[in-house]
Amino acid sequence: MTSFAVGAATDTGQVRAANQDRYLVSEPVFVVADGMGGHMGGEIASEVAVLALEAIDTVGSLDELIGRVQEANAAVVERARAQPELRGMGTTVCVLADIERPGSDRLGVANVGDSRLYRLTADGLFQHTEDHSLVEALVRDGRLTRAEAAVHPQRNIVTRALGIDEKVLVDAWELIPVEGDRYLLCSDGLFNEVPEPEIAEVLRAQESPEDAAHELVERANDAGGRDNITVVVVDVVAAGSFDALPADRVSDTRKALPGGMLASESPEADDPPVTRSVFDPPPDQPSAAPPSVFTWRLAAMVAAVMIVLVVMVVALLQVGRSGYTVVKGEEGTVELLQGEGFLWFEPTVEVETDLVVAGLPDLDRERVEAGQEFETRSEADTYLAYLQTLVDDGS
Ligand code: MN
């Protein structure tokens, strides 16, 4: 039997009104869940998922663990059905579980969404999970670099979550428990604020898992705390028995694990700040002609010029203020609009795609039907590119 030492911490952060993250430390499972959805939906989704997983007494196989995550999904879906105001709520889950099989203990990992599992070893900090997020899909597609993704304004948009569909695709795999390994489960509120080398440094410096968890939450808050922050640190104190594999076989097994990306130990240079276009201030109004040369014709010209100036200023303010919205057009396809209706200015259709809204996955279909807003054109284009990849993948 594998034994663990565990520490956990969660915080609302500096900006959000409520904490929609939940964690669970209840052997044999350790969980981080990051809820999303208005009207309390986010809190409820993560809470329902965690309560479903808390009922687990033992995990005998990886399939059993996946089944438990499916049950948690069903529980969130059911709750959303029962309360229409909670429609569209969802939650990520990242689960580390002790799989007890006589003679071959394993750790099971199950992941849906963009919370993460890392493992700290003497060699470094490894990210074991793959984010189910818009930016991760674009990185895989070669449309964004990892450095761009790390600061992208849409990095909180997930592509998989519990509570959206009857069935959810769960990433799952097994790891061999190794004494001395330290695992970190966390919500995006940690890794979006604290660079991975700094996370590794804290995990190395703090001996107790409890201290490590609290210091990581504190660092995320110091860095801005723009999202809820949740951290669970799990130390493997004594490894369970597993079939006596030769040493080389053990390391092969570990290398072959999916998602075992080496987390970057050297932060890449930050992108240059986005340059925003600044509108030139309106030219000064022409000075009124001296009364001695006043004519009705001149007055009419001045009035005409002033009207043109007012229209230009209003138009510039409108263009400068308004953003972009990805919507469902009259043909049922995805369109990009610029601007919001204002005085006699109508939003303009900037891009018409042939992507059929009804054919999108539920999460994105709902976003487009509700009108997904973006501040800049490039953010909106990124989202359109992402929607295109969904169709290209045939998913
Ligand atoms: Mn979050």
Q: What percent of the chain has pLDDT over 70?
A: 82
Tell me, in angstroms, the distance from the centre of ligand 1 to residue 34's CA: 5
Contacts of 335 (CB under 8 A, 6+ apart): 326, 327, 328, 329, 349, 351, 352, 353
pLDDT tens, 92-141?
999 999 999 888 889 999 999 999 999 998 778 999 999 999 999 999 99
Tell me what the mean pLDDT of segment 273-284 comes to: 32
More confidently predicted of 295 and 113: 113
In three-state secondary structure terms, 379 is: helix
pLDDT band at 349 (very low <50, low <70, confident <90, very high): confident
Q: State the Cα–Cα distance between residues 166 and 156, nearest whole angstrom.
A: 23
Residue type, 285: Q
pLDDT band at 12 (very low <50, low <70, confident <90, very high): very high
Tell me, in angstroms, the distance from the centre of ligand 1 to residue 189's CA: 5
Tell me, in angstroms, the distance from the centre of ligand 1 to residue 162's CA: 14
Domains and CATH numbers, the chain: 3-262 (3.60.40.10), 324-394 (no CATH)
Tell me, in angstroms, the distance from the centre of ligand 1 to residue 230's CA: 9
pTM given for the model: 0.68
Tell me, in angstroms, the distance from the centre of ligand 1 to residue 166's CA: 23
Tell me, in angstroms, the distance from the centre of ligand 1 to residue 67's CA: 25
Tell me, in angstroms, the distance from the centre of ligand 1 to residue 227's CA: 6
